[in-house]
Structure 1
Amino acid sequence: MTRYVVVGGGIIGLAVAHRLRADRPAAQVTVLEKEAGWAAHQTGHNSGVIHAGVYYRPGSLKATLCRAGSASMARFCAEQGLPYEICGKLIVAAEAAELPRLHALHERAVANGLPVTLIGAVEAAEHEPHVAAVAALRVESTGIVDFGAVCRRLAELLAESGAELRLNARVTGIRARPGGLVVSTGAGEVTGDVLVNCAGLHADRIARLAGIDPPARIVPFRGEYYELVPGRRNLVRGLIYPVPDPQFPFLGVHLTRMIDGSVHAGPNAVLATAREGYSWRRFDPRDVWDQASYSGLWALARRHYRYGLTEVTRSLSRKRFAASLARLVPELTEADIVPAGAGVRAQAVRPDGGLVDDFLLVEADRQVHVLNAPSPAATSSFEIARYIVDRLPADSPTR
């Protein structure tokens, strides 16, 4: 019997464990999560969008796994009775200067095999009457869901299937031993044969504990959200996105009708002063030192400091945040939005300052480390899990 240890109780870790129980029912599966509940960080703080796969380079893991993952996510929600909706979205060119990027995005979406249509201003207004657009890309297969609810159901299914689920189990050490490994946690030791690291914001640190020298380092970017006051939710029917800047993995401040009927606005993207830094007040000296001593961050800052300053300004000014939204829906004003929390994106940055733009998995002897899995990882989670499990050894070593 092979013993699998999965580190991380977000949607990818739980999906990997679920796939292991489905494909290898004789195996022992243990999930370690340092928090007191599931989906406590990236998964539980995102915008709840089931992405179609428009933005990603054809042939990349993001493109292939997102397209398949959106269908897998919808299928799982339907089977489990979880609320979701395939509502489609608009990607909006608010001015003529954005049209070349919109057309390039259309070409990429077509290359990825997605159901998309370029439409003009009149047709865009039929979908979103209050939008400002010279043209737009209509993406039919985008949806919305509560990823936290998906995780809670996965945890229930895992418990029913006999998996061992350990909350409040922060990993403090990993050491090899003949025929396996020992994972030390604050709640005791776990022995296993195969390790899968899905630790998100701390994935590079877990990799180093396991003896891996990661090719990139996690740099945390906080994304702050507002939501529309109830009386102004009627201005947005579904999802409205700007045309993104292809230099960055961030999609720009957008408007999303959530599964509960509220409308969220955001996120921006500012460098966080802690890996779990959900506000400017959260400061972790170790995390800040890790960033300050990393050549990759300084190279990134030199290359994109103007973009960073713009994001910081928008973070500190609700008026500027509202102005970004008004480019999409001109009727929106500062009085129409209220703060709605924040999330932190675990973005891998290479030593030369390059942003890792695809999912990054590092394989070692009986180990897989997921070192870059920001958006659209939640959408893609079931297919990421399939991809990982297909690469894991199924045989139990001699002990």
Structure 2
Amino acid sequence: MIRTADQLAFASRALLRQRFRTLMQLIAMSIGVLAVVLLTGMGEGGRQYVLGEFSALGKDILIMLPGRKETSGGMPPMTGEGTRDITLQDAESILRLPDVEQIAPLVVGQSEISRGARARESLVLGANAAFFTIRQIKLARGQMLPDIPLDQPSPVCVIGETLRQELFSAESALGSWVDVDAYRCRVIGILADTGTGLGMNMSEALILPVASAMQIYNTEGLFRVMIDVRVAQDMKNLIPRVEQIMRERHDGQLDVTLITPDSILRAFDNILSILTLAIAGIGAISLFVAGVLIMNMTLITVSQRTAEIGLLKALGASSQEVRSLFVLEAVMLSLFGGLLGLTLAQLCLWGARLKFPDIPFAAPLWASSSALLIAVVCGLLFSWIPASRAAAMAPVLALAHQNGK
């Protein structure tokens, strides 16, 4: 009977004798595991990033957009396009509801921001003081927008840190004037660097009163209205009342969509979870291909090592022990290839996190462990037929076949 330690030593020597073949099989299996873990990690990172963006809004925020879409678990409209505009008067009528704490009407545009000879194209947000509270936006210095009536323009603005650096460099920005297209406004605050939120890079943004933004872009319609509900549990009761107000103000037509962070989270979570599993399945195909390669290589190895098989059987090795030797070689290849692929995938995800620090690229434990397990199982299954073929050889015929060559 061959001891386990001897089997491991025998399999290791066999793998080292065929270095090129061993290397090719290691690469094939490592690529399979790399594909599964890397694709899953990137998909999961994107999923966690999107969910984190919307969960930051909290559960007591209701978002109203122009346009009506009956949703039943699908994605709500996010473009803000509709047949009829939401006006400041509509927003003010909602603010009068007893369950509403505050509202933040938004106008969004893209304009050239300039100061002297320096200029850059940047995001412009028309908002109010409540927007800073609802979105939990903090200031590095200065003050937020003044708490003035929504329809009152004011030549003041708050800018992001990146925009400040590009326009002012080492100079002080507070109190200075900048041009937004043909409109001039005075900088009264600098945003803390909070990165991207809901697709908006606030460090590159300029925020000014909503009425001022409506003048700049010559519009009476709002991109969306964020509604801060006093008690999150009252959200379901508030939605029909808001819809009723909008129906009355829009001549009996309900042409707005109300969405909650929970509905967005559920929709994104379902979609992105399916995508993550789909790309993991695509990566798993490469593991199957690697398994086929191991089977072919093992068949070739069996045909080339008939004398060795015959000698082992002549020395008393059983068919089961011969089969175990060839299976062990394939499993060792799969395990080492899987560990190599897993290491490479983690290095790639680490590099992706350095490149995109806002996105938590990381493969979940189930993906890493499943990829490694599947790699080993593929090696075991695909090597079983060639190994059984070797085990079935009669020692005399194997030796005679080799001597006859």
The structure richer in strand per residue is 1
The structure richer in helix per residue is 2
TM-score by length of 1: 0.23
Q: Whose Rg is larger?
A: 2
TM-score by length of 2: 0.22
Higher relative contact order (CA 8 A, sep 6+): 2
